[in-house]
Amino acid sequence: MEACCTTRQQSAILQVEGITCPSCASQVEKALATVDGVQSAVVDLAHKQATVIYDAEKTHPDTLASVVSDAGYPSHILTGDGHRQHLVIIGGGSAAFSAALKANELGATVTLINDGLPIGGTCVNVGCVPSKTLIRAAEAHYRANHHHFQGIEGTSRVTDFKSIIQQKTELVENLRQAKYTDVVSDLPNFRYITGTGKFISSDTVEVNGERVKADKVLIATGAAPSIPPIPGLETCNYLTNETAFELNELPESLIVLGGRYVALELAQMFARLGTKVTVLQRSSRILPSETADLTDELTRYLQDEGIQVVTGATLTHAQSSNGLITITARVNHEETTFAASHLLVATGRRPNTTGLGLENAGVDLDENGFLKVDDTLRTTVSHIYGAGDVIGGYQFVYTAAYEGALAAENALTGANRRQDYTALPWVIFTDPQVAGVGLDEKQAKEQGMEADVAVLPLSYVPRSLAARDTRGFIKLIRDKHTDQLIGARILASEGGELLMEVALAIKFGITVTQLISTFHPYLTLSEGIKLAAITFGKDVNKLSCCAS
């Protein structure tokens, strides 16, 4: 997949002398903006460079340098005169593709080198897309057999698990084609190479015996399942998220190692389809970074569906024999054995940095093996950037896409914009869903904030009562002094759909009082946000159905 064409849009980098402060940088940008054909001009004060995107039919890099020099800042061309900056991207997932599209917008030449997972990376192939469609399939089956309406009898059977998997595969293939392959197939000055990229030096990457020289490089190689060092585990034919979605037969029984979002989503999915599931979690609670009120309630709901949840389990040995996988663990200071036909390992993620030749480029890793990057996503080498799961932090497809575009912009324009994760929403797709944004009460206290907390059980939300599903609650956290929302935690069916109202309120400083005064349609789940906000100052038991 390779395409090239000519375009009037060009980029030039100027070395600018004598700029010592933001005011100087602003004067250079204003001088460049006066030139006919200049589309953007950004000055990198730290490196004394100006990156200019311009129309080659209207101006020339020599003119740009002359204008800056006339403004009192001697300047010369580093790259320009028709030379496009060349961004080499190693990786093929969300961060890589977002970066490729942004770089193309900025007039750069892009070479994308991808190995490992098919084009599209984790999310579309072995993560978000396959897991969420299979979770919905499991929910459809479960709901047909478990509802709370009288006078209605429903039944459902899993008659062909292989067909469920095939439908998932078709969706994955269609989205991979439509959202990745087709998106870049006609990009100008773009090249896609299938192969393993390895740094030969800080500006040269070798792939398939070819050496590709770059002006800037982005590492966006993602992450893979982290396998714990349990004696005997290597002899077991265990599953991960990269293989569990390819099964053609439904497991009779399944042990899940881990108690965070991947482990819980897949545990419930398989359990609802008919697999006997045991979850083994090392910490004292599932989702240990969340507060106990949330995790205790979710644990109870999972157990009500027949899932065995064992916490405080120290895994000591694994073995496979006679068609069964056996896990030995210490639970409450006693040795306990668990056995199942299948084993799923969901104990975290490790960065894909092995074999990249980072030592040849001088790129440093942190103590956990992730790329070290600053707030602008620059690594320890000034022209090499990192984005997505390989840098750790938030490992979501939407944060990876954000980071990829930001890294490309910073690399090619010198904008040095910093990451901003204010009001970042997240969802765990169990049922009920776990959804959050901003701080919880514990985090607020750790940051020295005086916070108020309002908790509204869904049994007080008319929509939940009408749907006969009152599992969970809505928790809002506000700054006691400013009345502004600073966080929310939601445990509810489709709880993720409630997040954006709270996220926008946090991002734009909307107060609880303003939120309460906003119309919320009756018998929508979103009305629960207003009701929860009202309970900061009123007793929910004394509110009418049309509370205000």
Q: What is the DSSP annotation of 266-282?
A: HHHHHHHHT-EEEEE-S
What mean pLDDT comes out for the span 498-503?
96
Residue 444 — left, alpha, or beta (φ > 0 → left; ψ -120 to 50 → alpha)?
A: alpha
Dihedral sign, CA of 518, 519, 520, 523?
Answer: positive
pLDDT for position 342: 98
Q: Are 89 and 79 in contact (CB under 8 A)?
A: no
CA distance 532 to 126: 37
User: What mean pLDDT, rounded, does the chain reach?
Assistant: 94
pLDDT for position 547: 60
- Neighbouring residues of 161: CB distance < 8 A, sequence distance ≥ 6: 247, 248, 249, 250, 273
> Taking 90 as the threshold, does the pLDDT of residue 249 lie above it?
yes
Question: Which CATH superfamily does the domain covering 425-542 fall into?
Answer: FAD/NAD-linked reductase, C-terminal dimerisation domain (3.30.390.30)
- Please give the class, per CATH, of domain 233-346: alpha beta
- CATH 1.10.1270.20 matches 2-83: no
Q: In what order do the strands lie in the sheet with 313-321?
A: 313-321, 324-331, 334-340
What mean pLDDT comes out for the span 413-419?
89
Query: For 443, what's the count of Cα atoms within 13 Å in the CB-facing half-sphere?
Result: 14
- Please give the class, per CATH, of domain 87-225+351-413: alpha beta
Query: Residue 89's beta-bridge partner residues?
Result: 112, 218
Q: Which of 220, 215, 224 is nearest to 386 (CA)?
A: 220
Confidence of residue 546 (pLDDT cuts 50, 70, 90): low
Global confidence as pTM: 0.87
pLDDT for position 474: 98
CA distance 340 to 497: 36
pLDDT for position 79: 66
pLDDT for position 2: 43
52-66, 141-155, 302-316, 458-472, range with the lowest pLDDT: 52-66
> Taking 60 as the threshold, does the pLDDT of residue 3 lie above it?
no
Could you tell me where in the chain the CATH 3.30.390.30 domains are found?
425-542
Query: pLDDT above 70 covers what percent of the chain?
Result: 96
Could you tell me where in the chain the CATH 3.50.50.60 domains are found?
87-225+351-413, 233-346
Q: Are 2 and 67 in contact (CB under 8 A)?
A: no
Q: In what order do the strands lie in the sheet with 473-479?
A: 425-428, 433-438, 485-492, 473-479, 451-457
Residue in the block written with tokens 């007080």:
460
Q: Are 411 and 385 in contact (CB under 8 A)?
A: yes
What mean pLDDT comes out for the span 259-271?
98
